[in-house]
Amino acid sequence: MSGKRPLSSAEQSDSGPLGRGYRGALGLDDPGLLQDQITGATMRAIEAEGLVDLQPVDRGGYGVVLRAKDRVTGNRRAVKVVLAPEGPDGLEERLADRLQIFRRECRVLDAKEMPEGVAPRFYGAREPEGSQAFMITEWIEGQKLSDWLNANAALPMSQREQVCRAIFATYARLHARNLMQRDVSLGNIMITSRTVRLIDFGGAGRAAAGYQSLNTMSRVPATQAFCSGPVWRGERKPSLADEVHAVAKVCFTVLTGELAAGYGSTAERRVVMKRAGCGRDMMALLLPRMEDPPLQLALQSMVQES
């Protein structure tokens, strides 16, 4: 992958940073900048849940993620805190939008259909009066796919293909339960020592045949580099086929270090994959899925936001 261009801001997800390159801009190199945005009342409410050693570690689309430790068990936990949006214009309305995303993420993570070991385990959410809303989930020990790629630039193709198959298998487990993550990106896939996990379900929902309404959510996260054309343009709800399309594009980046969106045809993508040394089976898996899914296929399983 030497000589390939660095990943650019086109890959940045609305729901969080792409990778280490964004840490300074988000205040992550100075945890105090994030800590100052969490009120004392909120910190006390989190500590009342039995959590200690609170440290800000990441910034998402609607809040800050803290790493914490359970006072009794010593196990690590992740705490996502909803922050008020910056700027005076439409502050109340924009905060309501963030809370809507937060509550939907809580519902999806807590859904009985969520397969074990795909999303972080959900331990509950609180919206205390006089405090910022927050949720408590499992802390996943691993790397975001973006960081994993930065740390494994010289990894052999066979191991890259293994990771891609594991990514597909994880999404297949989610889709088998009729659930969709929706914002597929390098920042929302975690590589752990044993498996692939998914994080950030603020835009998630359930798959439903023919669900076409575009008006049930004011702002849903998406990542342009991996999103299908019709979904990015707002022409239709994303479907399971659109999510598989996004997963294929993510895997193209894992294998080649480049963005599928930078190439306008299957033939061009085939050349890039062949040059990178991808196997025929992997090319056969990814190439047709990087084409925009037709509407007829998408209508079979469009996302229904809850």
The pLDDT tens digits for 124-164 are 999 999 999 999 999 999 999 999 999 998 999 999 999 99
Distance CA 81, CA 26 (A): 15
Distance CA 87, CA 227 (A): 29
The CATH number that applies at residue 116 is 3.30.200.20
- Does residue 80 sit in the same domain as residue 202? no
Distance CA 188, CA 15 (A): 9
Residue 23: what pLDDT? 36
- Does residue 149 sit in the same domain as residue 134? no
Rama region for 27: left / alpha / beta (φ>0; ψ in -120 to 50; rest): left
Beta bridge partners, 12, equal none
pLDDT at 168 over 80: yes
- Does residue 164 sit in the same domain as residue 191? yes
- Does residue 133 sit in the same domain as residue 148? no
Tell me, yes or no, whether 297 lies in a domain. yes
The CATH number that applies at residue 279 is 1.10.510.10
Of 118, 138, 158, at which residue does a domain stop?
138
First to last CA, the chain: 41
- Does residue 130 sit in the same domain as residue 227? no
- Does residue 171 sit in the same domain as residue 298? yes
The pLDDT tens digits for 65-110 are 999 999 999 999 999 999 987 666 656 667 888 898 899 899 999 9
Distance CA 179, CA 114 (A): 8
Residue 219: what pLDDT? 56
Q: How many domains does the chain have?
A: 2
Residue 171: what pLDDT? 98
Q: Read off the pTM.
A: 0.85
Question: Which domain range does residue 170 map to?
Answer: 143-304
- Does residue 119 sit in the same domain as residue 27? yes
Tell me, yes or no, whether 234 lies in a domain. yes
Of 94, 123, 138, at which residue does a domain stop?
138
Q: Which residue has the tokens 């597909």?
A: 168
- Does residue 19 sit in the same domain as residue 102? yes
Of 105, 120, 138, at which residue does a domain stop?
138
